[in-house]
Structure 1
Amino acid sequence: MFLYLPTLDKNINGSLKDLDIVVEVPGVPKVPSKDIPLVLRDRSHRVYQYFVDAGKQMFKSAGVVVNTFGSLEPNACKAIEERKCSPDEPPLPPIFCVGPLTVTGESKKENECLTWLDSQPSRSVLYLCFGSMGDFSSRQLKEMATGLEKSGVRFLWVVRAPKEDGETQARKAGRAAEPLKLADEDDFGSAAELEERVTELMNSNKGEAVRERVRALREAAVVAKSEGGSAHFAMERLVDSFK
């Protein structure tokens, strides 16, 4: 997205927030304009130009380090390699896909959530984390909590509290690890809808297929980071580039 942002900035007139269109970025699924983060939809936003300039500067760098691996995002990696994300920019410097990288800090003994997680049956917990962009209203959070609790699954939920609350919390109670997409009606997902999706994910053949794909990707990540794997090789190339 960052590599293609300068192209979008040049080809689209006005701000995406004022347009009801589907944005096509090479290598990734089509995205409705309303689902793109606000800072990238609004040209008047104070940091919009920063992101556009950052995308342009990537082409002037000595290399780009990405926390991913080829089999996780094959279409995106291929689009970058074939320069589909940067048709109007200079050749891209080397790309180093060194992921998955994670931050390690406190031990499990010091982390209440991990201690609880270890006490649950294998592959029985639903993990929910919406990242830095996952800001929800108090009303939406309550609706999500109700849906999760009614589903009856074990879950571990990382919650970014509403801005008016000013703190981050964590809730427990669910089963599995998979992003959940809710139908969109005024950008609000109901408790009943979330309960239905969670139940489908955890207790249906369709859900089992999704969980199986997640397990396969986990195994692929282990292979990528092992000696001789793609991420291991990319890290060696990155280190060699410093010499």
Structure 2
Amino acid sequence: MKRAEVVLVPIPAMGHIVALVEVAKLLVQRDDRLSTTVFIMHPTLDPSTTKYTQILAASTLPDRMQVINLPNLESIKPETKGRNWLTSLVKGQKSHVREYVSRIRNQSELNQDSPRIAGFIFDTFATGMKDVPNEFGVPWYVFSASGAAFIGSMLHLTALHDEQGVDLTELKNSEDELGIPCFAHPIPAKLLPSMVFEKESQTTFLEHARILTEARGILINTFIEFESYAINSLSDGKTPPVYPIGPIVKHVGDGGDLLSGEFNNYTDIMEWLDDQPPLSVMFLCFGSWGSFKEKQVREIAIALEHSGHRFLWSLRKPSQNGKAKSPSDYENFQSILPEGFLDRTAMNGKIIGWAPQVEILAHSAVGGFASHCGWNSTLESVRFGVPVATWPLYAEQQLNAFQMVIELGLAVEIKMDYRKDFYGDNEIIVSSEDILKAIKSVMEEDSEVRKKVKEMSRISEKTLVAGGSSFSSLGHLVEDMMDNIS
């Protein structure tokens, strides 16, 4: 029996690592000829990701799967290297990955039963390591932890820049709308990914978009029925074959969230939810980098209190001095909330720090989700049938919010063009009225949005099982990989 190994390289950020680890699991579960190795680069973006990778390396993984933590490159840190630290990190880790591939290659030459490397799967922003598989004559694929519409917009914006000479930074505050092939509706230019609005990060964005076309294939964490328009737009003859293999969501019951055991309030949160009626709780959570300053926290609190709905609010403390660091948990919520708020809402609300998001969204008590619209969070809301109130903060989240609200009708808007300012005090304040309106809309029992999300949830359940669209797509990917070593 031919045995093959697949090497996976995520960028060192929580959502990206979690998604590629799940891809590695899917591959070994799908075909017993395959083994997988996930390389984790260090330093990671934040301390919780570092903790996650340590727990992951020590946890029980499926047979034929391993996670390897690469050496920590002390000289490269997100805060000291600015926006290009990731490029430096990928470059610095190349030699370690090359060494591993050489070892596998030597073993397979000495022993016919040893696996041969069938392919590399790089995160969209880790493709700077493509020289390694190219040197060994091994094909490589790209994995997008964002959706098909993001990949489509990446390619289109690069064509605008390279072929038509468009200065993308000028679109930042533009009132123009763009026709992008992956969207059925024109999209406001100001909702484009944050990276294209600044010269330095735009260079990185464009470089990776150009590299996409060199890949043997593009794996996307999505499914055909969810992003049919965007996926079809990528079948243009110029883009490598696309493999929609999602929704990759860490299901409850398959080991849970590795960080759950690290936080004392996990059991407390789940027990509180157990006591709430079905679909009665509004859940607010803004991702591993989501936090707001005091003025904005006050507006959210006013909206929640006036809504009358039960709520579970993951409230995190912003990093100090304008540094782009991930938020931490408050020691005392009273220091940030309006006076008396905790007492007045004690019967119907609960404020928490870190949140076990997947488990919460899967709970029957949750009826709505105020979210930053990170792609993993978007897929989790769809998978568990929870309608979203969109409040994007950074990266491609504004684009995801547009897709959910305008393209798909699976969400309502809090403020779609909100953009978090990590480096200054130019934070826009979203009013309690706007927040309240969205909460009421998303919690409406028989709303059209809720019906649509429930239907998409039912469809999403079927995609990854035999006969499903993503199951078939993964099968085609495995066939292509096995052909690489024949």
Same fold at TM > 0.5? yes
* Superposed displacement of residue 178, structure 1: 1.3
State the alpha-carbon separation in 1 of the partners of residues 210 and 192 from structure 2. Answer: 19
CA distance in 2, matches of 1:136, 1:187: 10
Q: TM-score, normalised by structure 2?
A: 0.42
Q: 1:158·1:171 contact (CA, 8 Å) conserved in 2?
A: yes
Matches of 1:9 and 1:134 in 2, distance apart? 31
Question: What is the correspondence of 1:77-156 to structure 2 with a 5 Å cutoff?
Answer: 77-81=231-235, 83=236, 91-103=238-250, 104-106=256-258, 111-112=266-267, 113-131=269-287, 134=290, 136-156=292-312
In 1, are the aligned partners of 2:295 and 2:429 still within 8 Å (CA)?
no
What letter is aligned with 1:143? Answer: E
The reply on whether 1:8 has 2:164 as its aligned counterpart is no
Whose relative contact order is higher, 1 or 2, with alpha carbons under 8 Å and at least 6 apart? Answer: 1
Q: Matched residues in 1 for 2:228 and 2:286: separation?
A: 23
* Unaligned segments of structure 1, at least 5 residues: 84-89
| Equivalent in the alignment of 1:200 | 441
1:58 to 203, 212, 216: 212
Shift of residue 54, structure 1, vs aligned partner: 0.8
State which of 164, 173, 177 in structure 2 corresponds to 1:22.
177
> 1:25 deviation in Å?
1.9
Bigger radius of gyration, 1 or 2?
2
> How far apart in 1 are the matches of 2:287 and 2:304?
18
Consecutive unaligned residues in structure 2, runs of 5 or more = 1-152, 251-255, 330-349, 353-364, 369-386, 391-412, 419-426
Does residue 212 of the first structure (1) align with residue 451 of the second (2)? yes
Note if contact 2:279-2:366 (Cα within 8 Å) is conserved in structure 1: no
Alpha carbons 1:23, 1:31 under 8 Å: kept? yes
Equivalence for 2:414:
182
Contact 2:291 2:317 in 1 (8 A): yes
- Secondary structure of the residue aligned to 2:213 is helix
Question: In the alignment, which of 188, 197, 200 is matched to residue 32 of structure 1?
Answer: 188
- Tell me the distance in 2 between the aligned counterparts of 1:31 and 1:5: 12
Tell me if structure 1 keeps the 8 A contact 2:278–2:366. no
How has the CA–CA distance of structure 1 residues 114 and 56 changed in structure 2, closer, same or farther, with 3 Å as cutoff?
Answer: farther
Give me the whole-angstrom Cα distance separating, in 2, the residues matched to 1:37 and 1:197.
23
- Alignment identity in percent? 25
Quick one: structure 1 residues 160 and 21, their matched pair in 2 at CA, closer, same or farther if it must change by over 3 Å?
Answer: farther
SS across alignment from 1:47: helix
- TM-score, normalised by the number of residues in structure 1: 0.79
Q: State the partner residue of 1:228.
A: 467
Residues in 1 aligned to 2:272 and 2:161: alpha-carbon distance in whole angstroms: 46
Give the deviation of 1:227 after TM superposition. 1.2
Other structure's SS at 2:180 match:
coil
The 10-residue stretch of structure 1 (221-230 or 186-195) with the greater mean CA deviation from structure 2: 186-195
1 CA distance for matches of 2:209 and 2:155? 5
- Indicate conservation of the 8 Å contact 1:20/1:32, yes or no: yes
Match of 2:477 in 1: 238
Any idea what the Cα deviations from partners look like across 1:138-159, whole Å, max 9, x if unmatched?
Answer: 4223312321232122333445
